[in-house]
Amino acid sequence: MENMVNIVIDGEELSVPSGTTVLETAKKLGKKIPQLCFLKDINEIGACRMCVVEVEGRRNLPASCVLPAEEGMVVRTNSPRVLNARRMNLELILSLHPQECLSCVRSQNCELQSMSQQFRVEQTPRIDTDRLPLDVSGPIQRDPNKCILCRRCVAVCEEVQSTSVLGALERGIDTHIGPAWSEALDNASCTYCGQCIQVCPVGALSERDDTARVWELLHGEDHVVVQVAPAIRTALGEEFNLPPGTNVEGRMVAALRQLGFDKVFDTNFTADLTVMEEGHELLAKVADKNLPLITSCSPGWVRFVEEYYPQLTRHLSSCKSPQQMFGALAKTYYAELAGLTAQQVKTVSIMPCTAKKYEADRPEMQASGQRDVDVVLTTRELAALLRQAGIDLARLEDEEFDAPMGASSGASVLFGRSGGVAQAAARTLSMAYPERVKVGADGSVMVDGKPLRVTVVSSLGEARRILEAVEAGTCDADFIEIMACPGGCINGGGQPTVFDQDERNERLHARRNVIETLDGEAAIAGSHENPAVQQLYAAFLGHPLSEKSHQLLHTHYREELEQPDSPESKAILSRSTAD
């Protein structure tokens, strides 16, 4: 039986399991204790001191996030002493923080700003310190001057993503957060997953702002088309105060047309195409007994395996991601249909993922002799673009995607959440090749009369566990789906940021429900049934894995020979040594 303790918080008594923190206990009573550094099970260090409480019989004010409830403990969360201490701690944080709220990317969505308003802190003394250089080298940008040393990004990078790219540098008042040896993120082994942005309470971390590039394209002479990833329609409404779980697909299409895009297409179209190409690749590898096959549609995951396990890139599917397949086809297949040259077509992607910016920049992604995708915007950037244009998403009427690259199946929308790629592939293969592939009621898959062992993981920490097993020869999976972000694209680094961790989990659940509903309501279940995909193969590609398909829709990865030989160079590459 679980050991229970009785605790009194602000006059209310509650019995909780032994080991429960005072912060969690207060939450059970509906009391929200302020916090800036706490992330449950990830970053529980009591660094910010904003969650201090008063405990009867103790002289100090302990941090409630690391204070276990004890039998008979009497706690006050809002006594004058506690409120004064929190205000003083907040003023100390603000004294080292740049007063740039009006121009900050996180203005009105900043935990520090919100807390300053909560405690009515209007002016604080400013301690002048030498400004640290900005890191604007890649798709994720850092302003270390805005960092409040909460170490959330450090914890997520280490505990969840297992990359340990970020850490504390220097000491005392000179302490700051960054990659080892103060390298730029672009020179470190960062995967650009963006989970650090999601947990940063201030504007110290953000994606590269590419909205100005999109405005230039929209007001230029080129034919500009846009594609939208499945996870965008699950979350964009949150930026316009619509309830979490609102499907804004139709209104999003209308908004993009109002912005001035010549065609509004759906990345789901090329998600269906990915299922076709990768599904046939899987069948070929099963026949050749060349397994496991690992998915390649998550660019953060692809960079992870190239940086940390390059010897295992041979197991990656050669398929480009749906984003890059779309870009390649927009400048070839679609351009031909529209009577345009590849140079006249410009492609913009709306993605839930910061790593998609990196992916579009890769030199391998130039199937038509130029970039497949010209600009990538995150969900947050699209919301900013719409606000700049004065477009209120909530007030728009639904519109439909354009043909031919707007048609999709229910299978394609599943790419928006973890497990969706594997489910979509199994569904399509079992429908298209029932004599070879069968899916049981429990989700088990049989290929040619033998079980196909499928493993699904999300987060790079879980990916590392799987890769260690593959390398050791102890992995019993034949087909492995890996997404860089926990939960998949619905939780991408470019999705709307949410302060409260419990609220964030609720929103992820609501976004996932949108995916499931869209799949259930789709007129077409399997990718192979998409008539636009059938027409694409008949008129342009020929068949899955054809020479033309390989030219446009497949790619290659860095070679195994780039693996460092010495333990010292391997340690430098992984950035895993402690500072």
Domain(s) labelled CATH 3.40.50.1780 in the chain stretch across 211-560
Query: Which residue did the predictor score with more confidence, 557 or 37?
Result: 37
Q: On the CB side of 346, how many CA atoms lie within 13 Å of its CA?
A: 19
Residues in the chain: 579
Question: What's the pLDDT tens digit per position in 479-529?
Answer: 999 999 999 999 999 999 998 999 999 999 999 999 999 999 999 999 999
Amino acid at 177: I
Q: Which residue of the set 54, 249, 281, 481 is catalytic?
A: 281
Single out the catalytic residue among 359, 381, 462, 481: 359
SS3 89: helix
- Distance between CA 406 and CA 312 in Å, rounded? 35
Give the pLDDT band of residue 554 (cuts 50, 70, 90).
very high
Catalytic residue among 64, 162, 206, 317: 317
Half-sphere exposure at residue 299, Cβ-oriented, CA atoms within 13 angstroms: 27
- Among the listed residues 489, 527, 529, 549, the single catalytic one is 489
DSSP letter at 496 equals: P
Backbone φ and ψ for 74, nearest 5 degrees, come out as: -115, 120
How far from chain centre, in Å, is Cα 275?
A: 21
From residue 411, give the alpha-carbon distance in Å to each of 269, 494, 508, 517: 10, 23, 20, 12
Q: Which two three-digit tokens encode residue 244?
A: 């979490």
Q: Which residue reads 């477009």 in tokens?
A: 391
Average pLDDT score over residue span 405-424: 97
Q: Write phi, then psi, for 50 (nearest 5 degrees).
A: -80, -15
Quick: pLDDT tens for 77-90. 999 999 999 999 99
pLDDT category at 579 given cuts 50, 70, 90 is very low
Distances (CA, A) of 344 to 223, 321, 366, 477: 6, 23, 15, 44
51 labelled catalytic: no
> Which candidate, 411, 433, 455, places its Cα nearest to that of 274?
411
CA dihedral 58, 63, 69, 73 (to 10 degrees): 30
Q: Is 2 a catalytic residue?
A: no
- From 51, 190, 297, 485, active-site residue: 297
The Cβ of residue 59 has, within 10 Å, a number of other Cβ atoms equal to 5
Q: For 189, how many CA atoms within 13 A lie in the half-sphere containing its CB?
A: 27
Cβ contacts of residue 333 below 8 Å, gap of 6+?
536, 540
Q: Where in the chain is the domain with CATH 3.30.70.20?
A: 96-207
The residue to which tokens 């790219």 are assigned = 165
Location of each CATH 3.10.20.740 domain in the chain: 4-92
Binned at pLDDT 50, 70 and 90, residue 131 comes out as confident
Residue 278 annotated to the active site: yes
For the stretch 105-118, pLDDT in tens is 999 999 999 999 99
Confidence of residue 295 (pLDDT cuts 50, 70, 90): very high
**277, 278, 307, 481: which is the annotated catalytic residue?**
278
Q: Is residue 371 over pLDDT 50?
A: yes
Largest CA distance in the chain: 80
For residues 383 and 378, what is the distance between their CA atoms, to the nearest angstrom?
9
> Residue 445 forms beta bridges with which residues?
439, 452
* Per-residue confidence band for 559, with pLDDT thresholds at 50, 70 and 90: low
Residue 475 bears catalytic tag: no
The pLDDT of 173-191, averaged and rounded, is 93
pLDDT at 370: 87
CA distances from 74 to 34, 80, 218, 355 (A): 19, 16, 62, 48
Q: How far apart are CA 301 and CA 438, in angstroms?
A: 29
DSSP string, 395-464: GPPP--PPSSTT---HHHHGGGSTTHHHHHHHHHHHHH-TTTEEE-TTS-EEETTEEE-EEEEESHHHHH
Task: Judge contact between 500 and 384, C-beta under 8 A.
Answer: no
Average of pLDDT values for 314-329? 97
> Does 317 qualify as catalytic in the annotation?
yes
Task: Give the active site residue among 12, 91, 159, 364.
Answer: 364
Say what the pLDDT of residue 123 is: 73
Active site residue 319: no
Q: Residue 345 belongs to what H/E stretch?
A: strand 345-351
Strand arrangement of the beta sheet that strand 375-378 belongs to? 263-266, 223-228, 345-351, 375-378
- CB 84: neighbour CB atoms within 10 A? 11
Judge whether 423 and 252 are in contact, CB under 8 Å: no
Q: Which of 155, 540, 519, 87 is nearest to 337 (CA)?
A: 540
Q: Which listed residue (356, 409, 418, 430) is catalytic?
A: 356
Under 8 Å CB-to-CB from 560, ≥6 apart: which residues? 310, 311, 313, 314
What's the CATH architecture for 96-207? 2-Layer Sandwich (3.30)
Confidence band for 139, pLDDT divided at 50, 70 and 90: very high
Q: Is 285 a catalytic residue?
A: no
Distance CA 519, CA 524 (A): 9
3-state helix, strand, coil in the chain (%, to 5): 45, 15, 40
489 part of the active site: yes
Q: How far apart are CA 380 and CA 205, in angstroms?
A: 13
What is the dotted CATH code of the domain comprising 4-92? 3.10.20.740
**211-560 CATH, one of 2.60.40.60, 1.10.560.10, 3.40.50.1780, 1.10.10.10:** 3.40.50.1780
d(CA 468, CA 163): 14
| Interacting residues of 559 by C-beta distance below 8 A, sequence separation 6+ | 310, 313
